[in-house]
Structure 1
């Protein structure tokens, strides 16, 4: 399988996981469900969005490594790596400081999403940097 399909495969895996986890989560009775955006969810959600931005930029740059200049590819790769590291570090910090589990309003799910997206973003950015380095040697 090509690396270009990694974002699509990751998104499909997340959707399948959510689809199978929803019935199991629905059977658990909660006394007080927290809904809406709480102060504990805001930081991890924004951090997950930063990681998602890195995944999008890294995926687009990976698909265009041969067609765009090496300087533009390297800039996109650096943005992907930096945003991935921000998502990974802050997601880890939010997960470590969150009290309670999913559904408590403390942002643990957003923190885990930020960590996963951060790792994917760093890997994609690293692949783009590696390919642009090899492209500059060949060309």
Structure 2
């Protein structure tokens, strides 16, 4: 997967999360949701947390400078830092949007817990991407 493909996939996740955003006046009072109920907040938080997790893994692989292991390891050593930075920013943006627009607290089914996880994973991805990028520039 090239960097261009990664950016396109990350943009699709961002657009999809924003397109699924719930209107502001949809519900007046937050009601505790069932465990299996999927709301737009939960979907957006899940997708942004998944994006942050992918960025964290790519940043970790780029920082470790994995050798061998096939095409994925070779790709991650070349493009992992940039992918981690981009996906970290997307995870923070979407997770912050879900956290800011969630009505009610944790457990109401609005995706607030997932948004917090996405923010943390996005920060981890940014930190790992920055470290890998700095290390690659120092060795040149």
Range class of TM-score, shorter chain: 0.5 to 0.7
Indicate the residue corresponding to 1:89 in structure 2: 93
How far is the alpha carbon of 1:73 from its aligned partner?
3.8
Of stretches 71-80 and 85-94 in structure 1, the one that deviates more from structure 2 is 71-80
How far is the alpha carbon of 1:32 from its aligned partner?
5.1
Give the TM-score normalised by structure 1: 0.67
How far is the alpha carbon of 1:34 from its aligned partner?
2.2
- Does 1:98 find its partner at 2:102? yes
3-state SS of 1:96 partner: helix
Give the TM-score normalised by structure 2: 0.67
- Does 1:134 find its partner at 2:135? no
Indicate the structure (1 or 2) with the bigger Cα radius of gyration: 1
Question: Runs of 4+ in structure 1 displaced over 4 angstroms?
Answer: none
3-state SS of 1:117 partner: helix
CA distance in 2: counterparts of 1:90 and 1:38, whole angstroms: 17
CA distance in 2: counterparts of 1:87 and 1:81, whole angstroms: 10
Q: Which blocks of at least 5 consecutive residues in structure 2 are unaligned?
A: 1-30, 69-74
Indicate the residue corresponding to 2:120 in structure 1: 116
Q: Which blocks of at least 5 consecutive residues in structure 1 are unaligned?
A: 1-30
Query: How many matched pairs?
Result: 103
CA distance in 1: counterparts of 2:77 and 2:61, whole angstroms: 10
3-state SS of 2:139 partner: helix
Q: Pick closer, same or farther for the CA change 1:131–1:108 going to 2, 3 Å.
A: same
Q: Pick closer, same or farther for the CA change 1:37–1:133 going to 2, 3 Å.
A: farther
Higher helix share: 1
- Does 1:52 find its partner at 2:53? yes
